[in-house]
Structure 1
Amino acid sequence: MVSCSQEGRNVSAIPQMKFSLAIERKGITGVIFNSPLPIDSVLPDVKQALSIGGSAVLIAAPGAGKTTRVPLALLEDGWLEGRKIVMLEPRRLAARSSAAFMARELGEQVGETVGYRVKMDTKVGVRTRIEVVTEGVLTRMLQADPALEGVGLVIFDEFHERSLQADLGLALTLEAQALLRDDLKLLVMSATLEAEPVAGLLGGASVVRSEGRSFPVETVYRPRLAGSELEEAVAGLALEALRAHEGDVLVFLPGIGEIRAAEAKLREKLRGYAYDVRVFALHGGLSAEEQDKALAPLPAAERKIVLATSVAETSLTVEGVTVVIDSGLMRVSRFSPRTGMARLETVTVSAASADQRRGRAGRLRPGVCYRLWSAEQHSALSPRSAPEIMEADLASLLLELAVWGVGEPNELAWLDAPPAPAVQQARELLVQLGALDKGGRQPTGHGRRMAELGKHPRVAHMLLRAKQLGLGGLACDIAVVLGERDILRYSGGQAPTADLTARIDALRGRGPYAADDGARRRLSEEARRLRRELGVDASEGTRAERGDERSEQVNVRTERGDALGRRYPYVSDDGVRSDDCGLLLAFAYPDRIGRQRDSGKYLLSGGRGAAFGPGQALAREPWIVVADVDDAGADSRIRLAASVSLERLAQHAPEMIDVEAEVYWDGEAKSVRGRERRKLGAIVLEEKPLGKLPEELRLQALLAGVRAEGLELLPWTKMARQFQQRAEFARRHDGTWPDLSDEALLATLDDWLPDYAEGMKSRSDLQKLNMKELLESLLPWDRRRRLDEDAPTHWTVPSGSRIPIDYGDPDAPFVAVRLQELFGLPETPRIAGGRVPLTLHLLSPAQRPVQVTRDLASFWRDGYFEVRKDLRGRYPKHYWPDNPLEAEATRRVRPSR
């Protein structure tokens, strides 16, 4: 049963039925689908939802048929008015496969009614009405034509994968719909997505649900033994499954490396095997032909094992598969805003991904799924994977938004807004690449050209700069190699190398290392297409084509070579120079230029450390550029790099080298110092003392020094401190007084010190300041006069002595006075207009405290006689009257009379 809700109304369920679609158009007669699919029963609801609203959400279980049936069913709806349907697929393999399936259903070839556009491959024609595209292609279409003229419907398929480009494409399409095309309709399709947030994002879109069709799949938990190799476990279990079950086997592995290892192990185990078993790899790095071989059915006598990455999770049916073996692992790219680097991580799949993989075994008949983990571990899996936008490098997204006309991501509608730290990191990189203006909001002309290439901004910048230098052909080779994990095949005891130049040589069929044949053919074709797109000759970048006299002028470190006898800067037979590669890499990775600081260890221009593993010839190079690191620990392990010379960087990328005058506070010398530095990012190339200090920088450094050292750096006299304390006392009892506390003075340093610090550079200069006069200047004239009245410096006691008042505690200012000098004083004296009593520290003739009081009258009445008794015994010659209120105050032993 299925259900549909439209704008709060329930639409009655419709049972499954055979679906007939008749398309009457030039060249197409009636087409009938005689094999029913679960999605057929809700197609009327999808049609109705789109006809009455601008958007809809379709939730259909895996195997329901939504990817291939929905576009065809909607093709001749009246509201479409003959316009195109554009359907997004997250993966190239699924895009090509679904387009081919729909074309077959129409009895046509791909490129007629149904076509596709994917990276480096397009099959569309003038009659094409359904275009299946990958998400980056939609972004390019929108940037070229924001109104999407000629398009009536955009479908976002498998939206639950939440790829970065899918989120971006939806955000841009929503704005195009809102501002330019209110007749443009959107359909979001998914298998496991929570529909309500997406429906809300689409403005309250209708939600249609289909239960789908899935044959029963038995789940078997087979945890891998601790310490066992993944490829061994997979190979053994695959052969066991072939013996125990009918049909073919689909194995999910995290990446290409594991696929190759498992493939080698399987081929070893299959020697002498009784059945005819074929092993196929299936991942995004294969050519279209190789991918199609893995998907196609085999003759009845043959069986196959398909080793796949997550590319086979959705939108694909691998013919003949009844057994799934799931490693429970996947490889994802994680970006660190802290370091500005992305790294590939092998992580545990989510429960949703595990269910998607399990469903592959039940697409066509009952099946079985072996999971290489326990039931207990399965219960601990996260429900779903985090959206890519929350963890990815956002440089491409931010550039696309800038070209679109959006300076801040929050100007658009998102299911999950891009994280601010990653946005800031991307903004800084794009400014560094010259793609955005210095404000980081507007695209430059160079940035617009970068966006048109549809590559990551790093690669696009490299391609454009390389073309200017006549190195475009080499840059295209580097670009395709950077998109591949590793094309090299090591043999004969060869050690793995991190040298990019070795890979370029292998791609061109030269050098001591061999490349995987399939990868080399595919990447060579990609490089040729990229050259055509960039408009460069295939030979651009070789020494012969450039007439490179520099090859005779290079500062070659002649006595240093690697294990293969090469010298750096290395020049291969066809003219590929290692420092050409390094120069181009520097355009792409200006934050990863490294200078050697120790054997094999480098400081990168972005401020991070990086290091080669043992046995790498490049580890002896003084300057390198790093393309790939693992971003682990204090010194990230370098996986891919090329050497470069500082001279070439200075010649062809002078914008990378800054000359800055730095004026700073030297904490040891307690003085302002100046130096001129040539820097390449965080790398200091040269430093020398700065002659005359710029006045503004001198003052800023002096103020910074006072902030760092504190106000104790200034010449505080006793009188200055007393003035500050008196002012604080006045403010404590009247909040309208200015704040002259240390904290306030530091906070307002820029407001009062510059007027008195002209030409000063050191602590000794600051000692010339008169702090009391300086503080007095911070009080208005009338407050200075009132300060003397409300907070006098001294109090004259009955004996005639002027005793200083201590304001260290603004709540209890005090005077310390000998008891005999207070005879005849009946009450405690008061200040602050009589509001605050002075605290009296009563002293003996020897200036030792005998009593502290704020109530002198009470002391004379209740405490004096006990104190008098003690003092008469210790100081018998002194005057201790019976009645202190009638006695004469004295500073002497006895009164003069």
Structure 2
Amino acid sequence: MFPITQFLPQVLESLSHYNNLVLQAEPGAGKSTALPLSLIDAEWLGDKTIVMLEPRRVAAKSIAHYLAKQLGEKVGGRVGYQVKNDRKISKGTKLEIVTEGILTRRLQSDPELSDVGLIIFDEMHERSIHADLALMLALEVQQTIREDLKLLVMSATIDTDLISAYMDNAAVIKCPGRAYPVSVEYSQKDTIRSHASNLSSAVASALESVLSPDKCGDTLVFLPGQADIKRCLSEAVNMFRDQPGLVFLPLYGGLSIDQQERALVPDPSGKRRIIFTTNIAETSLTIEGVTAVIDSGLEKVLIYDPASGMTRLDTHYISKASAEQRKGRAGRIQAGACIRLWSEAKYHSLKDYQGEEILSADLANLVLDLCQWGLTDYHSINWLTPPPIAHFDTAKDLLVSIGLLTDKGKATPLGEKASKLGLHPRLAAMLLQAKSPIEQAIACELAAYISEGDIFYNRRGVDIIERLIAIQDYKADKKSAMQSWPLKAAIVEQALTASRSLKNIIKASTKPTFFSLIELQEHVGKLLLIAYPDRLAKRRSDNCGRYQMANGRGAMLFDDDPLFGADWLVISDCNGQKKEGHIYAAAALALDDIHESIGHLLVEESVYQLDDKKQNIVGRKLSRYRALTLSTKPLANIPPEAFHACLNTLLQSEGLKLLNWTPKCECWLARAIWLGEVLESFPKISQSLLFETIDEWLLPYISDVKSLAQLKKVNIYELLVGILSWEQQQLLEQEAPLVYVTPSDKKVPIVYDKNQGPTVSVRLQEMFGELESPKIGGNNVPLRFELLSPAQRPIQTTSDLANFWNTSYFDVAKEMRGRYPRHRWPEQPLLEKPGHSIKHRRR
């Protein structure tokens, strides 16, 4: 008897009075296996059915078979299931176990769910996007058109307060699990995350401990991904090859049903099973006989980058809740052991619950479903956990670009059809826009291949066409194809099943079709581009495997890849690094293919820029798609407005040197800037102001100018002076004069230095008779004098001549007499006649 059994009356009673319930049942309680069968005969259910959501196909089918067996029936009777491309449900089915996407599409097509009385959300702690969306839509249906619809959320580890509040303060029932004590052993190191070899050796060491002769029972080894499973399993088989009583088995989503079943049931010959699995075995799946768990503490997580529109598969530490789920697998039938390949300190640093998928995933499917439901405004949606708005907006933009949404966020007719296909919107758009029968057939096979995953065991280049050729060979002769290609037969079979299903949906011929290499080369690139326009990629340079994608990101081919050297690629799989990621799946295509597939997205524009060699502004007509330039043609004539706009831009970047900018212009600008700072009655002028008002003082006067050479002949000084009124010009000449006239009537330029102020450099003897420093700028600023020696070197700087003559002059004169005895250094400079420096000879 399961622990949940004693809570069944409470669950039934709660659901008979209330529509919403949250059940937290610890591992082994029987919530997924004992509870559903007890509900199918509930009086309040009547003739309606129960729909139970499971996050994974293998779990959904496994539970359905188990429950049907408990009733002494085959699947498809009172207990049935529906997963992608596989359905076993009859008119007499009372309990339907489905994967999450199935319920979403059902809600879209039949919002009332008139034949459903209860929806069970199992393993809600995983917080998948589909589960969050299905719960959101189900609550809305319940609150609007189906007040009698009941919702039950279940999990072993879940934030019950959060879920209860979201479900209008639903009641919460907590049930203990059936668990024997499980001892926990920690590692002393946390190095496994970055070193695959360390992980393999750590697993091998742990297996030696749990497989000792004095112990019994099966072992679950939790690893992050398929590659880790294959590597560790291979090393274990070699390590324990002398122990015939052991059988080593993989368990992950990409295996065939038969391979998965072998891992789920006890070995018929009684051998001890060592099952190497991903987090697929954390919950839901019933795996009998397990008494030991070896936990890497790691899992693979898809991380979405909205800037590139791509996802990458990262390895992360699991949550404490997941660690407890895994540990609990060892204590279902007797006391067990759990070896954690990380330190106890690391355990305490783990987050409490698994991260919500909606925070880090591609939201294209979610946004299309929401828009189809009529929910287009991010801020008005009743989120359980709101996703990053940047991810939401990026998904919207993608859906608009592939024709599934209007600019206002409403589903187009194409988008309405796409939401019913059960495909990623990219692939749905590709499938629905395929035109000819052969294009439709290839599109079905291509969509199925991409959805199911790579069919090759090892890397053989990135060309998708090569994969499709291998599938053609498999369809013609399975045995021969398996010898010629490194095929994953289970994945190929799943892809072929999915392809047939898609053909049925779009009403294409389901007869076996074989495609030639020429046909695939003609159509695959164009079809992929419909789905992945943002991943159109252009080779950066000759003899290079580096590409730039339309989304602005970089991508790289391995040097030995057969597609190396292709000018254009469309990439369906790339590892999504921020700068340049490796390409894993792509197809080559020609420029004509691009125009045929996404010609409506291309933008024609004229671009004008400075040609350094020609020293002129030249024009080109570009055909662009986002960050990529597809083609360019020179323009013979440049419209005046384009020339002026380009000139304006160039002046901002290159500066005024493009103009006939003479020292006279520079001097005028310095004087005007200075006077505007010291005299309120004079306008504020600056170089930035000249740039900002260039269309007022320059462009109207160069309408006939068509080249930089002609521009260089324009008298810019006259245009600058014209900025000022007559009165302002006179004020500038008076208060910021060009020259200073010495007492000896010599004209010396005034330098308007922005740091030192107006400065005159003059030989000291020229200043005899100038009793004090003259003032300019409205009589506010004394001139600064840089007094020079006979060798034209500065010997004193002052803005106060009166003080200089009465103080420091005498020290200067004393020193200079020794250096320059032939020059005048009088004791009474104020009485001395200004002029020449050298003394007059006596006759």
If the TM-score is normalised by the length of the shorter chain, which range does it land in? 0.7 to 0.9
User: For residues 694 and 161 of structure 2, what CA distance do their matches in structure 1 show?
Assistant: 55
Match of 1:534 among 477, 502, 506: 506
Shift in Å at residue 453 of structure 1? 1.8
**2:120 is equivalent to residue 158 of structure 1:** no
SS in 1 for 2:509: coil
**Secondary structure in structure 2 of the residue aligned to 1:815:** strand
Aligned to 1:513, the other structure's residue is in SS state helix
What do you get for the CA RMSD once the two structures are aligned?
Answer: 4.9
Q: Indicate conservation of the 8 Å contact 1:470/1:540, yes or no.
A: no
| Cα 1:699/1:828, change in 2 over 3 Å | same
- The 1:605/1:870 distance shift into structure 2, 3 A limit, reads closer
For residues 81 and 452 of structure 1, the distance between their equivalents in structure 2, rounded to whole angstroms, comes to 30
1:360 aligns with 2:325: no
Distance 2:31 2:691 in 1: 67
Give the aligned residue type for 2:529: A
1:300-319 aligned within 5 A: 301=270, 304-319=273-288
What letter matches 2:507 in structure 1? G
Secondary structure of residue in 2 paired with 1:214: coil
What's 1:395 paired with? 364
TM-score, scaled to structure 1: 0.76
Local SS of the residue matching 2:337: strand
Deviates more, 1:846-855 or 1:174-183: 174-183
Decide which of 550, 554, 567 is 1:608's aligned counterpart: 554
% identical aligned pairs: 37
Change in CA separation of 1:176 and 1:664 when aligned onto 2, cut-off 3 Å: farther
TM-score of the aligned structures, taking structure 2 as reference length:
0.80
The alpha-carbon deviation at position 316 of structure 1 amounts to 2.5
1:851 and 1:830 map into 2 onto residues whose CA distance is 19
2:311 aligned to which of 333, 338, 342: 342
C-alpha offsets along residues 35-76 of structure 1, whole Å, 9 cap, x if unaligned?
A: 43288289569939x967x86655443334444566678889
Question: Per-residue deviation at 1:536?
Answer: 0.9
Distance 1:193 1:459, change over 3 A: same
Could you say which residue in structure 2 is the equivalent of 1:412?
381
The whole-number CA distance in structure 1 between the counterparts of 2:150 and 2:729 is 75
Q: What's the counterpart of residue 525 of structure 1?
A: 497
2:524 to 562, 578, 581: 581
Alignment of 1:266-665 (within 5 A): 275=245, 281-286=250-255, 291-292=260-261, 294-296=263-265, 301=270, 304-337=273-306, 339-372=308-341, 386-407=355-376, 409-414=378-383, 417-419=386-388, 422-423=391-392, 426-437=395-406, 439=407, 441-468=409-436, 470-488=438-456, 499-510=466-477, 513-514=481-482, 515-539=487-511, 542=514, 570=517, 577-592=520-535, 601=545, 603=547, 605-606=549-550, 608-612=554-558, 614=560, 619=564, 625-630=570-575, 637-642=582-587, 644=589, 646-648=591-593, 650-651=595-596, 654-655=599-600, 660-665=605-610
Name which of structure 1's ranges 133-142 and 793-802 shifts more when overlaid on structure 2. Answer: 793-802
In the aligned structure 2, how far is the partner of 1:831 from the partner of 1:74? Answer: 99
Query: What corresponds to 2:669 in structure 1?
Result: 724
- The amino acid of 1:858's aligned partner reads N
User: CA offsets per residue over residues 464-515 of structure 1, 9 Å max, x none?
Assistant: 123545322222222222233443579xxx9788522233224424485324
Output the CA distance in 2 between the equivalents of 1:500 and 1:526: 16
Q: Secondary structure at the match of 1:245?
A: coil
In 1, distance between residues paired with 2:336 and 2:680? 82
User: Distance between the aligned counterparts of 1:45 and 1:155, measured in 2?
Assistant: 13
SS of residue paired to 2:797 = strand
Question: What is residue 882 of structure 1 aligned with on the other side?
Answer: 828
Measured against aligned partners, the alpha-carbon deviations of 1:241-274 in whole angstroms (never above 9, x if no partner) come to 3844333333333334555566677778898966
Q: Which residue of 1 aligns with 2:796?
A: 851
- CA pair 131-623 structure 1, distance change in 2 beyond 3 A: same
Q: Report the counterpart of residue 17 of structure 1 in structure 2.
A: none
SS of the residue 1:453 aligns to = coil
Q: Distance in 2 between matches of 1:656 and 1:503?
A: 33
Residues 321, 361 of structure 1: 8 Å contact kept: yes
How far 1:403 moved relative to its partner? 3.6
Note closer, same or farther for the CA distance 1:864–1:757 as it changes in structure 2 (3 Å cut). same
Distance 1:348 1:452, change over 3 A: same
Q: Are the aligned partners of 1:332 and 1:347 in contact in 2 as well (CA < 8 Å)?
A: yes
Over 3 Å counting, the alpha-carbon distance change for 1:635 and 1:858 in structure 2 is closer
Cα distance in structure 2, aligned partners of 1:167 and 1:755: 62
Match of 1:89 among 40, 51, 54: 54
- Aligned equivalent of 2:26: 61
2-structure distance, mates of 1:424, 1:265: 46
Q: Give yes or no for contact 2:3–2:178 (8 Å, CA) kept in 1.
A: no
Q: Deviations over 1:342-392 (max 9, x none)?
A: 344455545443332222112343222244556576567666654433433
C-alpha distance in 2, partners of 1:377/1:175? 41
Which moves more between the two structures, 886-895 or 698-707? 886-895
Q: Is the aligned partner of 1:840 residue 2:810?
A: no
In the TM superposition, residue 532 of structure 1 has moved relative to its aligned partner by 0.9
SS across alignment from 2:660: coil
Q: Specify the SS of the correspondent of 1:729.
A: helix
> Structure 1 residues 733 and 503, CA, compared in 2 at 3 Å: closer, same or farther?
farther
2:179 to 214, 218, 235: 214
How far apart are 1:808 and its partner, in Å?
A: 1.8
Deviation per residue, 1:5-29 (Å, 9 max, x gap): xxxxxxxxxxxxxxxxxxxxxxxxx
In the other structure, the counterpart of 1:693 is: 638
Q: Is the 8 A contact 2:555 2:583 kept in 1?
A: no
Q: How many angstroms does 1:197 deviate by?
A: 5.4
Aligned-pair distance for 1:783?
A: 5.4
Checking the alignment, whether the CA contact within 8 Å between 2:790 and 2:837 is kept in structure 1 is no
Deviation for aligned residue 1:120: 2.3
Q: Are the aligned partners of 2:14 and 2:21 in contact in 1 as well (CA < 8 Å)?
A: no
Give the whole-Å Cα distance in 1 for the aligned partners of 2:726 and 2:107.
Answer: 68
> What's 1:712 paired with?
657
Deviations 1:515-534 (A, max 9, x none): 44444443332222221112
The 5 Å alignment of 1:749-764 reads: 754-758=699-703, 760=705, 762-764=707-709
The size of the alignment, in residue pairs, is 824
More displaced 10-residue stretch of structure 1: 38-47 or 709-718:
38-47
Q: State the one-letter code of the partner of 1:216.
A: P
Q: Tell me if 1:241 matches 2:211.
A: yes
Residue 673 of structure 1, CA deviation = 1.9
Residue identity in the other structure for 1:254: P
Corresponding letter in the other structure for 1:248: D
How many angstroms apart in 2 are the aligned matches of 1:865 and 1:238?
Answer: 100
Partner Cα separation in structure 1 for residue 152 and residue 126 of structure 2: 15
Unaligned residue ranges in structure 1 (runs of 5+): 1-33, 544-568
Structure 1 residues 197 and 236: alpha-carbon distance in aligned structure 2, compared to 1, 3 A threshold: closer
1:100-128 CA-to-partner distances (Å, cap 9, x unmatched) read 66667778776677654432234556676
Note if contact 1:466-1:475 (Cα within 8 Å) is conserved in structure 2: yes
1:782 & 1:175 partners in 2: Cα distance? Answer: 75
Q: Residues 805 and 471 from structure 1, CA distance in 2 versus in 1: closer, same or farther, beyond 3 angstroms? A: same
Quickly say closer, same or farther: Cα 1:754–1:71, change in 2 above 3 A.
Answer: farther
Deviation at 1:155, TM superposition (A): 5.1
